[in-house]
Every structure is written in structure tokens, then in C-alpha cells.
Amino acid sequence: MTPAVKRIGVLTGGGDCPGLNAVIRAVVKTAIYNYGIEVIGIEDGYQGLVENRMRPLSALDVSGILTIGGTILGTSNKCDPKRVAVGFDESGDPRFEDRTEQCIDHIRKREIEALVLIGGDGTMAGSEPFLNAGVPCVGVPKTIDNDLEGTDLTFGFMTAVNTATDAIDRLHTTAMSHHRVMVVEVMGRNAGWIALHAGVASGSDVILIPEIPYALESICTFIHKRSRAGKRFSIACIAEGATPLGGAQVVSRIDPTSPDPIRLGGIGARLADDIERCIDQETRATNLGHVIRGGSPIAADRVLATRFGHCAMQLLAKGSFNRLVAMQKGEITDIDIFETVGKQRKVPLDCDIMTAARSVGTCFGD
């Protein structure tokens, strides 16, 4: 088979997650071994295109990276080629410039014929100017939040759940020893997949997700009943984007230079304070934060990332451009690259895992 392209670029955009290196490895080795395609690694996501920071990737360069977390190429969740921060004006507000043409010029000078974009909806949205300029793209869906529309699973999610579950398991012992309520905050801005899965896997007594605004009174009543029944400790797993009824998400800071300036964090500590005031039971909060983004991918994510990377190269080699690799009903397939843009795959309130959790007595704060 004569491949449709001879040289491609690959980048990792958005936040890091376990499995990125596994995708890079699969892309590079499949390209070289199966199709004789050259691969150029683009550093730090779209920032590398703006600044022309790229390097050739050989099979040797990606040997041994399957088990390593993060990305050997680096990444950035702040660079949008159409809106690059270039300093501040006299009022202290950030200034932005469109560097799309500069990126396209760098692509053409490197003789890159197509791009493999490994990232989330923001990374896929960023492909539009390149597609319009005639640079084909294939996307690989990445997010620990598992909230991309069009795919049932994203690599990195299962490792994040495993890491969060392990942390909550460890907190169980101190909760039991001190008869405390332990509140564990995990990532999940608008979709509660991590909190739901880690909460169920760890046997958390309370699971709070963005899809269900919680009532403090319901949570406190539930914990108080547990205590009266002789269960002198409770574990609550809460997503960072969870909100009390009639309340708002807790914002930790705002970065005006970022395309997505809102940074959430702190809802766990707030809930812990509220519970302690409400039922006078000692309560502690732990925010796992970026801990669940890092570390080596578990076996399932290594396999999924390898399958995704291989599929991306198959699509490019046969000239099936502007597609996004996806998993649907257990099978690897592909969809339009823009299908995920501006959408989020949230937890359906009637999904079987929620039904199962409720059946074993889990409180969702409603």
C-alpha cells in the first residue's frame, strides 16, 4: 500500500495524562514500520507550531516510553494559534495575536503533509485553521475526565480512576481510626465520571458530581444516620465542579492568558467545613488535584492508547483525513474531528453504574 502522506507531525495538546507516550509510540512505530512515513514531533502542543520547535522522531526515540506518564513532547493548555498571548497592555490586560499563518508557514517549511493531534475538544477545535489551509488532521481523544462527545472511553481515564481509588482506600484507614468524615476532591469540572467510578470502586458513602446539585441537609442526615447505626466514619468523594443547590462552582483562580481561564478547586474543603458545622463530627478534606493526572498508565490505558495511535496512522495512510479516533460499543472507529467540539459527555443520571451505586446505599446528595 502506498500511503497518502510521506511526512506527518504529531503533537500533544491540553493537560497531560497517562498514556500520551503510548499513543506517540504507536503513531511513530506504525508510521515507520508499516508505511515508511517520516514523523516530526512538535513540542509543547500548538506552542511548538507557533515557535517552530519540532524534531524528527525515530523508532529508537520512542522505544521504552510505553510505561512512562506524561509526554516526551511536552504539552500546553494555554496556546491557541488564533489567540496567542503576547504580553499585556497599559491596563494590565493580556494582548493576543493570531499566529495561524505563522504556524502554517512552519508546517510547510518542514514539509509536513498532515497532523496527528492528541488532545481534547480544545485541541480538536484548534485544528480548524489548518484544515482550512489544506493541512489534513487526524485526532486522538485524550482526557482523564472521559467527557468527550462521540467516544465511550478516552485513554488516561482508567488510570486516573485507579489512582483516585487507591488514595481513597488509604484514607479509609485514618477515617476509621479517628471516626472522621473524610472528603476527597477529585478532578471533573462539568462531568463527574472520575468521582463516580472512583467513588463506587472505593466504596465511598457519598458521591457528589456536577450533574446533581447537592443538598447539604441530605448529606448531613445521611452521615448522621450512619453514625447512629454504629458506622462512625464516612467517606465522601466529590468532583471539583460539584455545586450545592442554588450555589456555584468554587473557583480557585483565573488565568486571563488562557483560552480556558477558570481554574476550579476548593469545593471539598468547603463541604468539609459545612458538614462539621452541621453535625459536629470531625471532618477533613483532601484535594487529590494533579496527583491523578500523573504516573505510569495502567495496562488498560496502555492497550487503549496503542490501539488509538495505530488507528490514527491507518486513517492517515489511507487518506481518511479530518477524523477523530473513537471507541463506541467496545470497538475502535472514527468520527468527524469536530464532533466533540463545544460538547461534553456528561454522566446520564439513569446510567447503570449510578443505579448500582444507589442500590448499595450510596448518597448522591439529592
Q: What are phi and psi of 265, to 5 degrees?
A: 155, 135
Residue 334 appears among annotated catalytic residues: no
Q: Are 308 and 141 in contact (CB under 8 A)?
A: yes
Grid cell, residue 141, equals: 481523544
Q: Are 272 and 242 in contact (CB under 8 A)?
A: no
**Residue in 44, 145, 147, 301 annotated catalytic:** 145
DSSP secondary structure, 48-61, as one string? HHHHT-EEEE-TTT
Grid cell, residue 34, equals: 508499516
Q: What are phi and psi of 117, to 5 degrees?
A: -110, 115
Q: Which of 193, 202, 200 is nearest to 168 (CA)?
A: 202
Q: Are 147 and 196 in contact (CB under 8 A)?
A: no
Q: Are 214 and 366 in contact (CB under 8 A)?
A: yes
Q: What are phi and psi of 216, to 5 degrees?
A: -55, -40
Positions marked catalytic: 145
